[in-house]
Structure 1
Amino acid sequence: MTAKPPKLNLPLLVLARVCTTAVFMVFPACLSVLRSEWEMTATQAGLIQGGFTVAMAVSLLAASFLCDRCGARRVFTLSAAASALAALAAAAFARDFTSGLITMSLIGLTQGGTYTPAIMLASSNAPAARKNAAVGWVLAGMSAGYVVSIILSNLMLDLTDYRAAFLSAAVLTAAGGLFSYLSVRHAKDIEAAAKSAASALSPGQRRNSRLLILGYIGHTWELLGMWAWVPAFLVAALSGASGMSAVELGIWTALALHLSGFFASFLSGMAADKLGTRRVLIGFALLGCVCSASVGWAASMPPSLLILLIALYGFATIGDSAVLSSAMTDAVPPGYLGRALGVRSVLGIGAGAIAPVNFGMVLDAAPATAAWGLGFLTLAAGGLLAFCCACALPSPSRVALKLHT
C-alpha cells in the first residue's frame, strides 16, 4: 500500500491561527479597564505589553533555531499546546500589575513558538507561484484571531469582567492547540542543514536578507506600538462623543484595526506573487508611515471618519508582514531559514517591544492636547525605516526575491 504524499491542511492551519491568537489582544482590549482595576500608569501598561513582546521575541529565536534541528512541525504543535496552558494561567492569576506582567510574558513566551514554524510550513508546502499567498493566508488567520480577541473581550467586559475575557480567550487558545496538530500532522517538514548559514549565503543574499531584517525592525516598531495603543486611543476619542457602549466600541475597534488587516495579509501576498516583492513593500511602508504621522491628531474627527482612518491604518501596517516573511524564505536557503527568521525576530520584535513603552512615556510626559499625536508620531519612524529598506531592494522583482543572485 502506497503512503500518502505529505500535505498541509492550509484551511485548518488558518483556523488554528485564528484560535491560537485569540488571546493575543485581550490585554490591549481590556487596557482602559485594567489601568483602573490594577491602578497602573500608562508606562506600567506599556511595560506589560513590552514584556509580552520581549518574551515573544525570545521564544521566536528559540523556536526558529529548534526548527532547523527538530523540524518546524514538532515545534509548532508543542508551542500551540503550551500557549493554551499559558492563557489559562493568565485567566487564573492575572489580577494586578505584577501578575499581569508575569502571565502576559508567559503567553508571549509560548506564542512566539507558533509563529515562525507556521510560516515555514506554509511556505515549504505551497507551490512556488502561490508562496506569498499561502503565507498571507496564515497571517490573515492571525488577524482574524485578533478580531475575535477584541470583540470577545469587550463582550465579556460588558457582561461580566476582565477575568471572563481572559478565560474565554484561553478556551479558544486550547482549541487552537488541537487544530494546530491536526493541520500539520501530514505536512512536509524542513530538514536541518549540515553547513553553516554564513557559508551558504552569497553576497547578494546577505544584502537582501539584511535589508529585509532592517525593514522588519521598522515594521514591528510601528505595528506593535499601534496594536498596543490604538484600542485605548479609540476609547479616549469615541467613548464620550459617540455614545457607543463598550461592546459596540470594541466591535468597531476590532473591525477597523484587524479585519482590515485580515484582508491586507492575503491581498498583499497575492499582489506580491503578481507584481513583485519590492513594489508591494514600498507601497505598504509608505502608507503606514503617513497614517502613523496623522492618526494621533485626528481624535476630534467624526466617529465614522476616524474609524475609517484606523481601518486604513490597520490595513497599511499589517500588509507588508506576509511579504516580508515570504521574501525571507526566498532570500535564505530552506535549511537555514529557521535561524534567519530567529535573528530577524529578536532584532525586529525586540525593537518593537520598546515601542509601546516609548509611546506610554510620551503619553505621560506630553501636554494632553498633543499627547496622542506625539505618541503615534514616534511610530512613524518605523514606517520610514521600512520604506527606505524596501526602496533599496533589487529592482525589478516581478516575483519574490530569488534564492540565487
Structure 2
Amino acid sequence: MKKVFDVSLITVCQLLALSLWFSATAVLPQLRAEFHLGAVQSSLFTSSVVMGFILGTLASAFLGLADRLDPRRFFALSALVAGGANILILAVPVDGIAVMFLRLLTGICMAGIYPIGMKMVATWARGDTGFLVGLLVGALTLGSALPHLFSVALPLDWRLVMVAASGSAWLAALGVLFVKLGGAVGRSPRFDPGAVRHIIANKALRHAGYGYFGHMWELYAMWGWTGLFLFRTYQARGVDDASLWAALTTFAIIGIGALGSLLGGIWADCWGRTTITISAMSISGLCALFTGALAAAPLPVLVIVCLIWGISVIADSAQFSSCVIELAEPDHVGTALTLQNAVGFFIALVSIHLVPVVADAFGWWVSFAMLAVGPVMGVMAMARLRAMPDARKLARGRR
C-alpha cells in the first residue's frame, strides 16, 4: 500500500511539474496572434526548453548531482526555480530575448525533474522496474497530448495558462517532499569526474544508449509534426474545421501512447526488455516509413496507422531507462539516466528541426520515412545487447 501511494505521488508530481514544458505548446497560437511572432521566434520559444534540458542534464551528469543530492530536494528546488522562471515571462516582452533565456532556464531545471523522478520510482522496483518507469513515461505522454486538447476545449487567456503551469510546478515541489523512497538507493558518492567515463566504458550500457538514441530520433519529431501533417492532409481533402479535427486526432494519437507505455512496461517485465524494444521499434519504424505515403489513403486507414504509430513509438521508451537502472552501478544510476537523456534529447532536437525542412523540399513521405532510420539503428543496438552476457541482468533474466 505504501508503495502504491509513493509511486502515485511521484507520478503526479512529475506530471504537474512537467506542465511547464508543455504550457508553451498550448499558448503558442495565442502568442503568435497577439505578438506577431515569426516562425523562428515560435520555434525558439519551444525548442529553447529542449536546449536548456540538454544543458541541464549534461551539467548534472558531469557533476554527478543526480547521485550526490537527495532526489526529493533536488526535484523540489528544480520545480520551484522552473515555476519562477515560467511566471516571469508575464513581466518581460514576449517577443524579446529575455523570454528565450527564461525558457532556457526552465529547460535546465527539467533536468532535476524528469530523470530524477525515474530514479525515485526505481527505488521502489521489486522486479517491476519496467512497469513503474512505464507508468512515469505514460504520465509524460499524456501531458504531451493534453495541450492539443486544451487548444480546442479550453481557449483560455495565455497568461492564465502560464500562471496555472507555475502553480502546478510549485505544488509538485511541495508534494515531492512527502515522498518516501523505497530503500534501494545507492550511496551519495563524492564528485568523480571519471564517473561519466566509467558509464561510457560499460558496453552493455552503451548499447542500451544507442537503442534510446534511435528511439529519440523518431519520437519527438513524430509528436511535434504529426499535427501539422494531419492539418494539411485534412485541409487538402476539404474537411470542414480541419484545425479542430487535426487537434483532436493528434491528441488521440499521442495520448494513446500512455497506454502503450504502460503495456510496454508490463510486457517487458514478463517477456524481456530487448524483446519489447525490438518489437516496438520494428512496428514504429514501419509506421514512419508508410504514414507519409498514406496522405491520399482513406481517412480511417490513415488514422488507424497513425494510432498504431502513437502506441508503438512510446511503448519502448521507458524500457531504455529501465535498462540503465538495471545495468548501471547503483551509485551512478542517476548520472547514467541524465547522461542518456542529454544525448537523446540533443538528437531529438536535430530531427525536430530537420523534418519540416525535408517536408518542404521533398514532401511528408520522405520526411517521415527519414525518421525510420532511428528505429532501424535502435533494433540493431538492442539485438547486440540481447546477445551480451550482461543482458541477464535485465528483467530478472528476461532479455
Q: TM-score normalized by structure 1?
A: 0.83
Amino acid at match of 1:235: F
Partner of 2:108: 109
SS at match of 2:293: coil
1:306-325 correspondence to structure 2 within 5 Å: 306-325=302-321
Partner of 2:378: 386
> Given the alignment, which residue of 209, 213, 223 partners 1:227?
223
How many equivalent residue pairs?
Answer: 389
2:204 is equivalent to residue 212 of structure 1: no
Partner of 1:78: 77
Q: Between 30-39 and 184-193, report the one with greater CA deviation.
A: 30-39
> Given the alignment, which residue of 151, 154, 168 partners 2:149?
151
Q: 1:102/1:305 Cα in 2 relative to 1: closer, same or farther (>3 Å)?
A: farther
Q: TM-score normalized by structure 2?
A: 0.84
Distance 1:237 1:35 in 2: 23
Partner of 1:261: 257
1:1-400 correspondence to structure 2 within 5 Å: 9-28=6-25, 45-64=42-61, 65-90=64-89, 93=92, 95-96=94-95, 98=97, 101-127=100-126, 129-156=127-154, 159-160=155-156, 162-182=158-178, 184-185=179-180, 188=183, 189-193=185-189, 197=195, 206-238=202-234, 241-244=238-241, 246=243, 249-257=246-254, 259-364=255-360, 366=361, 370-395=362-387, 400=394
Contact 1:68 1:338 in 2 (8 A): yes
Contact 2:327 2:393 in 1 (8 A): no
Distance 1:164 1:330 in 2: 42
Contact 1:38 1:97 in 2 (8 A): no
Structure 1 residue runs without a partner (length 5+): none
Q: 1:153/1:172 Cα in 2 relative to 1: closer, same or farther (>3 Å)?
A: farther
Once the two structures are superposed, residues 236-291 of structure 1 have per-residue CA deviations (whole angstroms, 9 ceiling, x without a partner) of: 2235733247555433321221x221111111111111101111110111112112
Distance 1:7 1:27 in 2: 32
Amino acid at match of 1:264: G
Once the two structures are superposed, residues 139-191 of structure 1 have per-residue CA deviations (whole angstroms, 9 ceiling, x without a partner) of: 111112223333224434xx355555444444434433333333x25554442
Tell me by how many angstroms 1:233 deviates: 2.0
Contact 1:256 1:310 in 2 (8 A): yes
Once the two structures are superposed, residues 289-309 of structure 1 have per-residue CA deviations (whole angstroms, 9 ceiling, x without a partner) of: 112222223333444433332
Distance 1:116 1:340 in 2: 10
Tell me by how many angstroms 1:386 deviates: 1.0
Structure 2 residue runs without a partner (length 5+): none
Tell me by how many angstroms 1:232 deviates: 2.1
Distance 2:49 2:139 in 1: 20
Q: 1:402/1:207 Cα in 2 relative to 1: closer, same or farther (>3 Å)?
A: farther
Q: 1:100/1:198 Cα in 2 relative to 1: closer, same or farther (>3 Å)?
A: closer
Distance 2:310 2:93 in 1: 28
Q: Between 379-388 and 299-308, report the one with greater CA deviation.
A: 299-308
Q: 1:342/1:14 Cα in 2 relative to 1: closer, same or farther (>3 Å)?
A: closer
Amino acid at match of 2:143: G
Tell me by how many angstroms 1:399 deviates: 7.0
Q: Between 10-19 and 24-33, report the one with greater CA deviation.
A: 24-33
Contact 1:80 1:180 in 2 (8 A): no
